[in-house]
């Protein structure tokens, strides 16, 4: 039996229910993993509220690290006793243990702790695809990154610095801006203090940035488009402030023949080999010291509702984990 956080209907953090569930044995292509730490992400909020609807009741959570307890038939990249971490569908990581598909579960090197593993997989592989699999980026390019002091943002600041890319961040306070700067952002703008899009233009001598990486959504979308240089790329990869309203595609032409994409991590990691390669690339960045995993908050599994309240109120910095 394993303590597991589930929801039976969509809504606020109060919808979480803690239950004991039978874990069972892994079937073909599956593993059973005993979690040591679990990561929290905004996609968890989207699923809980129903923005991303799920068939209910359902266990929650997309990211964790732990020890493989058993492997099913056909699983060759993991064995019993291995350290492992993942970001993966279906949800179910908010649990002491689970059985799940093995394809997106990745070996966790000895030099990376379980807490770091739980905090880095979804966010770190997101940064990996943003910088390496979405649009060509090279040393000297300029990126605008919103929520630069969040879990994904602090990894992006470091990743950009390690690749010679100038990252302009935005954040909601001077303290959060300083955190982004400390992690490698070249500049960080407190979006509460004025017209941040105009400041981006000033910082780029009126040219605009090559790429915008925007997980905030509705509140930043128009300003993001206005911050791009002609032929620039807008990567909209989240909806923390709400979904982006329908777009008149003609605005892209008016603002300089802009490009726009709405990627998801789960498209990228659907292929087993691609997922494993992305995880290895991320681990290399962490083991080399180019990227350090910042865990800003820790909650007990039983306090998952409080963790979600903090996440939604934007009271978190870096990554948030549940301790098992």
pLDDT at 20: 97
Burial of 249: CB neighbours in 10 Å, binned 0-12, 13-18, 19+: exposed
pLDDT at 247: 92
Cis upstream peptide for 240 (omega within 30°): no
State the CB neighbour count (10 A cutoff) for residue 194.
10
Q: Look at the alpha carbons of 114, 105, 315, 209 in this order and tell me if their dihedral is positive or negative.
A: positive
CA-to-CA dists, residue 123 to 10, 116, 154, 228, 278, angstroms: 24, 11, 10, 24, 12
* pLDDT-flagged residues of the chain (< 50): none
pLDDT at 240: 82
Q: What is the pTM of this model?
A: 0.94
- Give the model confidence (pLDDT) of 272-311 as tens digits: 999 999 999 999 999 999 999 989 999 999 999 999 999 9
Cis upstream peptide for 178 (omega within 30°): no
- Where are the chain's structural domains? 2-122+280-323, 135-262
pLDDT at 241: 87
CA-to-CA dists, residue 193 to 66, 79, 177, angstroms: 42, 52, 12
User: Where does 2-122+280-323 sit in CATH, by number?
Assistant: 3.90.180.10
pLDDT at 314: 82
CATH class, 135-262 region: alpha beta
- Residues sharing a CB contact under 8 Å with residue 281, sequence separation 6 or more, in sequence order: 128, 132
Burial of 252: CB neighbours in 10 Å, binned 0-12, 13-18, 19+: middle
pLDDT at 18: 98
Give the integer Cα–Cα distance in Å for 169 and 145: 5
pLDDT at 172: 93
Buried-state track 155-184, b at ≥16 Cβ within 10 A, e below 16: bbbbbbbebebbbbbbbeeeebbebbbebb
Q: Could you give phi then psi for residue 239, rounded to 5 degrees? A: -140, 45
pLDDT at 315: 87
């Amino acid at each position: 039996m394993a303590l597991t956080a589930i929801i039976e209907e969509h809504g606020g953090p109060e919808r979480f229910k803690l239950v004991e569930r039978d874990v069972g044995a892994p079937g073909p292509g599956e593993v059973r993993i005993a979690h040591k730490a679990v990561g929290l992400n905004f996609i968890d909020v989207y699923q809980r509220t129903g923005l991303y609807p799920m068939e209910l009741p359902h266990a929650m959570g997309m990211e964790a690290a732990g020890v493989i307890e058993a492997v099913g038939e056909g699983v060759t990249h993991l064995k019993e006793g291995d350290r492992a971490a993942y970001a993966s569908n279906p949800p179910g990581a908010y649990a002491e243990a689970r059985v799940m598909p093995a394809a997106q579960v990745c070996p966790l090197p000895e030099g990376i702790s379980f807490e770091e593993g739980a905090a880095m997989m979804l966010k770190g592989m997101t940064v990996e695809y943003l910088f390496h699999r979405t649009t060509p980026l090279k040393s000297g390019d300029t990126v605008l990154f919103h929520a630069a002091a969040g879990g994904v943002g602090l990894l992006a600041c470091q990743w950009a610095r390690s690749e010679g890319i100038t990252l302009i961040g935005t954040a909601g306070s001077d303290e959060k801006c300083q955190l982004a700067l400390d992690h490698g952002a070249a500049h960080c703008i407190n979006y509460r203090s004025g017209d941040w899009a105009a400041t981006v233009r000033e910082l780029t001598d009126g040219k605009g940035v090559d790429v915008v990486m925007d997980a905030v959504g509705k509140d930043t979308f128009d300003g993001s488009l206005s911050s791009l240089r002609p032929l620039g790329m807008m990567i909209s990869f989240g909806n923390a402030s709400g979904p982006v309203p329908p777009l008149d595609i003609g605005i892209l032409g008016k603002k300089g023949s802009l490009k726009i994409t709405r990627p998801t991590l789960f498209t990228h990691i659907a292929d087993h080999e691609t997922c494993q390669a992305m995880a290895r690339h991320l681990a290399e960045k962490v083991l080399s010291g180019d990227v350090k995993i910042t865990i800003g908050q820790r909650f007990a599994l039983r306090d998952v509702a409080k963790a979600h309240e903090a996440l939604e109120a934007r009271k978190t910095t870096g990554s948030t984990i549940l301790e098992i």
